[in-house]
A and B are shown apart, each in its own frame.
Chain A
């Protein structure tokens, strides 16, 4: 066995201090940018209209199971090319804000172009939650990554239909 890992996603109004989503969805298997702030709705049922943005996605990893230490977290868009009129913005953060379709200025990194994972954004860890203050570079107990926050932004010239196939990668070391 190795570390047991699952993706989670926070949704809904920001609540608490430090802020997190009102709803915490566990064992999330996909990330689809769409015109609704939830996990369950099929993206085809709530598509983004050209010229608008998706709701910001706040996903994060949860580590349990068996591991001595988790470290060196990195996050990046690593393969595939988005069509014209599409921009993927993102940031690794401990700060949650109520998701909306407004252009999210907190997402300071442009992730539209694929890069090597070694050049990805640094991901830190916390035993408290993705919102935990003072996240650390290593994790030596059950815990979480920071939020991997993303928003797909479109122009009116964006083509309709599914995006091209792209790969987003989360890498970490464990022993």
Chain B
């Protein structure tokens, strides 16, 4: 058995002031110890009954209201939008690698953390805007 270690934990800030921080064990609030599988804590973000405003991971945040990215320790913001997008939806995942070197399976590791969003452009097409953060 193997799991990839998480070097960057996320934080989700909602419009109503509620914040969810990813626990080190990534436990979902309704975790069932007897189950073979449980959702991760990210499921709590998806299920929270409120508007997600900011999502942070690896020193970067994305404002889903404005589409602006910004480093955690700076006030400068930047956008990846060529045209304004609407109906932004969070994208967050970890690219995970299992290498087999010379016949031996290696321990899983996260190669990149990916944050951003998808939104609708004026033509109604979906565009994705993401940042890649080294794992």
Chain B residues closer than 8 Å to A117, beta-carbon distance: 97
A143: nearest residue on chain B (CB-CB)? B37
Interface size class, chain B: 35 or more
Decide: A71 near B93, CB < 8 A? Known: A4-B3, A5-B1, A6-B1: yes
- By the criterion CB–CB under 8 Å, are B4 and A2 in contact? yes
- By the criterion CB–CB under 8 Å, are A5 and B39 in contact? no
- By the criterion CB–CB under 8 Å, are B93 and A66 in contact? no
- By the criterion CB–CB under 8 Å, are A4 and B98 in contact? no
- By the criterion CB–CB under 8 Å, are A174 and B96 in contact? yes
> Which of B21-29, B60-68, B74-82 makes up part of the contact surface?
B21-29
A-B contact count (CB 8 A): 111
- By the criterion CB–CB under 8 Å, are B42 and A5 in contact? no
> Which of A23-31, A90-98, A128-136 makes up part of the contact surface?
A23-31
- By the criterion CB–CB under 8 Å, are B96 and A172 in contact? yes
The answer, yes or no, to whether B92 is at the interface (CB within 8 Å) is: yes
Chain A residues closer than 8 Å to B3, beta-carbon distance: 1-5, 65
Chain A residues closer than 8 Å to B95, beta-carbon distance: 171-173
The answer, yes or no, to whether B34 is at the interface (CB within 8 Å) is: no
- Which chain A residues numbered 139 to 157 have a C-beta less than 8 Å away from chain B? 140-142
The answer, yes or no, to whether B83 is at the interface (CB within 8 Å) is: no
- By the criterion CB–CB under 8 Å, are A30 and B105 in contact? yes
- Which chain B residues numbered 33 to 50 have a C-beta less than 8 Å away from chain A? 36-40, 42-43, 46
Interface size class, chain A: 35 or more
Q: Is the interface of B mostly helix, strand, loop or mixed?
A: strand
Q: Which of the listed residues A28, A65, A167 has the most CB atoms from chain B within 10 Å of its own CB? A: A65
- Which chain A residues numbered 14 to 60 have a C-beta less than 8 Å away from chain B? 27-32, 43
Decide: A173 near B105, CB < 8 A? Known: A65-B3, A66-B38, A168-B100: no
Chain A residues closer than 8 Å to B36, beta-carbon distance: 64, 142
- By the criterion CB–CB under 8 Å, are A174 and B94 in contact? yes
Q: Which residues of A approach B to under 8 Å, CB–CB?
A: 1-7, 27-32, 43, 61, 63-69, 71-72, 78, 117, 140-142, 165-175
User: Given A168-B99, A170-B98, 11 other A-B contacts at CB below 8 A?
Assistant: A2-B110, A30-B105, A64-B37, A67-B39, A167-B100, A171-B96, A172-B96, A173-B95, A174-B94, A174-B96, A175-B92
